[in-house]
Amino acid sequence: MRIINIGIVGLGLIGGSLAKAFKKYTDCTVSGYDINPETIGRAVKEKTIDCELKIDECDMLVMAVYPADTVRFLQENGAQVKKGAIVCDCGGTKEYVCGEAEKIAAEHGFTFVGAHPMAGTEHSGFDFSDSELFKNASLIICSDKKQPEMEGIFGKIGFGCFKYTTAKEHDAVIAYTSQLAHVVSNAFVKSPAYRRHKGFSAGSLKDLTRVAWLNETMWTELFMENRENLVREIDNLIDNLKKYSDAVRSGDEAKLKSLLREGRTIKESVDGR
């Protein structure tokens, strides 16, 4: 199927960036919807989208909203989706949304594919959307079948890697690679020392604390939907930190050196020098 008409639900950072990228790098017609009518009007005026969303004309519908909102939107509008269309989401958790959306898709004759663009910034909203956000980014696709149409259209806007997995594996791994990182960053700035860091800090502090500037509404939903996986990762981190604390407190230089060496060699074995 050739994708000619693309619809985007949610014109925030990700949805707005997708719209701008599709308009810039493809010849597709792009329509869009946002809960804020002013955002829709602005997107049309700035030619980020061609027009307001026309669900029944879309060959591909991209859900760039929170997982629960994706399910709710499809429950309410699934009957309007074009038969044979591809619907994908951009959410940070997959087991819940894929389980519900796939049932809706089967009922109404379209295909739902869970997807997760591994791109973003510490900011949110249409104001920060950028057509170049996805350059060389990875798109996780939760499907046991190849999705050539998706690879083709998302490849045109810059995605350089397509990682296929299951919804279950996605949520288990993303609890570590994304969710735990946000928890650590957010907790790290709660030290009283953070308020005195100006002039004492360099790149390491900036890197570690970048995502402390987060959207607490979105991340609370994502954390709660993936709570078992995330709690496991938080507890594992606490256990590891306790080992460092014990070694430093007791003055055990040999143990501390061993822990540091272990972390370095794991990093080297996975990511290289």
- Model pLDDT for residues 20-32, shown as the tens digit of each residue: 999 999 999 999 9
Tokens 């790098």: give the residue.
25
Same-domain status, 31 and 79: yes
List the one residue out of 123, 114, 119 whose CA is nearest residue 91: 114
Tokens 């869970």: give the residue.
114
- Of 133, 150, 165, the residue at which a domain comes to its end is 165
- Side by side, the strands of the sheet bearing 29-33 are 51-52, 29-33, 5-9, 60-63, 86-89, 111-118, 138-142, 161-165
Same-domain status, 260 and 160: no
The pTM (predicted TM-score) of the whole model is 0.91
pLDDT higher than 80, residue 1: no
Same-domain status, 149 and 39: yes
Cβ contact 85:58 at 8 Å:
yes
Q: What is the CATH number of the domain that holds 81?
A: 3.40.50.720
Q: Of 56-70, 115-129, 153-167, where does mean pLDDT reach its minimum?
A: 115-129
pLDDT higher than 70, residue 160: yes
Same-domain status, 59 and 157: yes
Tokens 């591909």: give the residue.
60
128-155 per-position pLDDT tens digit: 999 999 999 999 999 999 999 999 999 9
Domain of residue 15 covers: 5-165
